[in-house]
Structure 1
Amino acid sequence: MNKKLLLIIILIGLNSCAQVKKSELNYKIITTDIDNFWNAYDALEGSQDSIQTFQNLYIDKASPEFEKFLELRNFTAKQYVNWIKGAPEFWKTIRPLTLEVKNKKKEIDSIYFKMDEYYPNFKAPNICFAISPIQSGGTTDKGLILIGTEIATVNPQKVEISEINGFMKKVFENSTGDIKSLVAHELVHTQQPNGDNENESLLSQAITEGSADFIATLLLEKQSMNAAIFRYGQKNEEKLWLEFKYDVETEKTFEETDWFYNYNSKRPADLGYYIGYKIAESYYENSDNKKEAIKDIINMNEPKEFLEKSSYDKSF
């Protein structure tokens, strides 16, 4: 057989294999709930019963994936209506950004294919973009990614956030509207054995969350962690580690520390993400086989053993 012809046949075969591999990443990106939200939003103007209108046109029309979101977070029509009336400029300015998500498929595909390349056991989850009552940016449930698009897309330079109060305003002030980073983070959670569990020990929670940020950084080939957290962490790394180590060794609970979800702290909230990130990074950098390291990081289920193998503590 002619050598050139043989080479062409081989290349076609390899390309076909690649196409089969990609076709195995069968997953859905659900955005119908975004459209349903704005239909309900527009209908409020002439409505005699705002809560019932929102119930009928948004919640009752929920996709099966959004139904799971509703079940997990207990969103109600009354919550939506109260927020819409209380922050009209926010909703006006966030609207175009939420609608743009429907054009992000290629960007999201690139993350999924990269994950499949790095992690052979990858199972592609469906992803549902809906609108929450400004309560939940992103979560996962049994291989499903659920995104509160009105939170995920906020960029304070494009969105009016002056009507927002409390810890959510602090969240928004540091937001960039980077959908890809959030999807990459949540994508890792869908692969982790503890990814859906929000009641882990302090050390386990830190490694689980920080690992998701670390692998997301590999997927995106750029820093995925909140910039304020990362900057503060880099400047105060040893001090933070010694404080965190003490809290772990004395078995302090979440309520007794401010490593997670404490937006009233004087320093950046969620520094537990940074600690977990650095532990995962240390494990990865000290491993000869990077692909196996990624597998180990994702499947971490013995946090103390993982910390020891990472040698992170020894770096100080």
Structure 2
Amino acid sequence: MILESITLRKGKITLLFSLFLLATSISCKEEKIKENHFEYNIITSDLDNFWMAFDALENSKDSVQTIQRMYIDKASPEFKKFLGLRDFTAEDYVGWIRSVPNFWKTVRPLTLAVKDKKNAIDGIYETMSKLYDGFRPPDICFAISPLQTGGTTEDRLILLGTEIVAVNPDAVDISNIHGFFKKVFENMTGDITALVAHELVHTHQPLGDNENSSLLSQAITEGSADFIGSLILGKLTLSQAIFEYGEEHEKELWAEFQADIKANKGFEETDWFYDYNSDRPADLGYYLGFKIAESYYNTSKDKKMAVKEILETQDEHSFLLKSNYGN
């Protein structure tokens, strides 16, 4: 779920990026896009439903029922999967809407602006199809979560909490946001393409399917998504803060990470992922997974085959060994 990007250092990896513009009108509802040999759906109707429900709260006598009736009950089939995965309730939405009104007011135009990103998203898909012959274009659903999740995947579907992924702290009032998301928002840029590329990779990875993922498996799954996402975009999908800290402390981070691997720790038993209480950047497991995937790619003679192998790996220990990282 790393959302920011910086330019990769020259010569580190080969970057491929091309955009294909569509000569089609933009719809605010579900739109089917077809480019050459593949097609997929971008669903944005849930954004419109949310903001209509939001506006209706001003004259509503029952806020919970208004959100339930005008937003949740009208959920697209894709958003229903999101609701099922995350168990969002109307009470959750109303609580956040009432507690941070300036956040919602300032983030609103940014959530609606994602409709203008369809050509860029199509370019991401087109580039991925050239990098990987097994590409299967997933649908994308842009919806609004109750400030709980930025992005996830379900089979061939990318689900995005647009009120999170579209945040640019220079344009959005986050003064009343605290804890986990305050730290996340402070380092965001509002560039949704990085998250789309990252989640697109996840829809093609078998390694991350195991709910009881090991620490190494989790790092390779997430880091590979950022590495291949960076190949697609020609810029990092990994957080700038994480990348810069990692580059400065790589050796000691790797030594610490190896010790946790040898202790056979699960990723939830460590602070490598989703720990926002530390003085150092959270999610440094993404950085080390990125470096492992980068090393695998750079030591491979056939780069297209390397992308395939990075995507399709199911044995994290063999993958680490073949990457030659840390040696």
**Larger CA deviation: 158-167 vs 193-202:** 193-202
- Aligned Cα root-mean-square deviation (Å): 1.1
- Check conservation: 2:213, 2:266, Cα contact below 8 A: no
**What displacement does 1:194 show?**
3.1
| Match status 1:187 vs 2:212 | no
Partner Cα separation in structure 2 for residue 199 and residue 100 of structure 1:
37
Greater share of helix residues, 1 or 2?
1
**What displacement does 1:33 show?**
0.3
Question: What is the match of residue 94 of structure 1?
Answer: 107
Listed as ranges, the matches of 1:81-120 within 5 Å are 81-120=94-133
Partner Cα separation in structure 2 for residue 30 and residue 143 of structure 1:
14
Question: What is the match of residue 79 of structure 1?
Answer: 92
Listed as ranges, the matches of 1:26-65 within 5 Å are 26-65=39-78
Q: Residue 266 of structure 1 is aligned with which of 279, 285, 298?
A: 279
**What displacement does 1:313 show?**
2.1
User: Given residue 27 of structure 1, which amino acid in structure 2 is its aligned partner?
Assistant: Y
How many matched pairs? 294
TM-score normalised according to structure 2 size: 0.88
User: Given residue 174 of structure 2, which amino acid in structure 1 is its aligned partner?
Assistant: I
> Secondary structure of the equivalent of 1:251?
coil
| Match status 1:174 vs 2:187 | yes
Question: What is the match of residue 13 of structure 1?
Answer: none
**What displacement does 1:167 show?**
0.8
Question: What is the match of residue 5 of structure 1?
Answer: none
User: Given residue 305 of structure 2, which amino acid in structure 1 is its aligned partner?
Assistant: E
Distance 1:258 1:300, change over 3 A: same
Question: What is the match of residue 162 of structure 1?
Answer: 175
Listed as ranges, the matches of 1:1-316 within 5 Å are 22-314=35-327
- Check conservation: 1:155, 1:172, Cα contact below 8 A: yes
Q: Give the structure with higher Rg (CA).
A: 1
> Secondary structure of the equivalent of 2:207?
coil
Partner Cα separation in structure 2 for residue 106 and residue 91 of structure 1:
26
> Secondary structure of the equivalent of 1:28?
strand
- Check conservation: 1:54, 1:77, Cα contact below 8 A: yes
Partner Cα separation in structure 2 for residue 230 and residue 47 of structure 1:
46
User: Given residue 290 of structure 1, which amino acid in structure 2 is its aligned partner?
Assistant: K
**What displacement does 1:198 show?**
4.8
> Secondary structure of the equivalent of 1:191?
coil
Distance 1:125 1:255, change over 3 A: closer
Question: What is the match of residue 29 of structure 2?
Answer: none
Question: What is the match of residue 25 of structure 2?
Answer: none
Distance 1:262 1:198, change over 3 A: farther
Gaps in structure 1 of 5+ consecutive residues = 1-20
User: Given residue 118 of structure 2, which amino acid in structure 1 is its aligned partner?
Assistant: K
Residues 80-120 of structure 1: CA deviation (Å, up to 9, x unaligned): 00000000000000000000001110000000000000001
Residues 257-308 of structure 1: CA deviation (Å, up to 9, x unaligned): 1100001111000000000000000000000000000000001100000000
User: Given residue 60 of structure 1, which amino acid in structure 2 is its aligned partner?
Assistant: D
Percent same amino acid at aligned positions?
63
Partner Cα separation in structure 1 for residue 135 and residue 246 of structure 2:
30
Partner Cα separation in structure 1 for residue 256 and residue 90 of structure 2:
43
- Check conservation: 2:214, 2:265, Cα contact below 8 A: no
> Secondary structure of the equivalent of 1:27?
strand
> Secondary structure of the equivalent of 2:320?
helix
Higher RCO structure (Cα 8 Å, ≥6 apart): 2
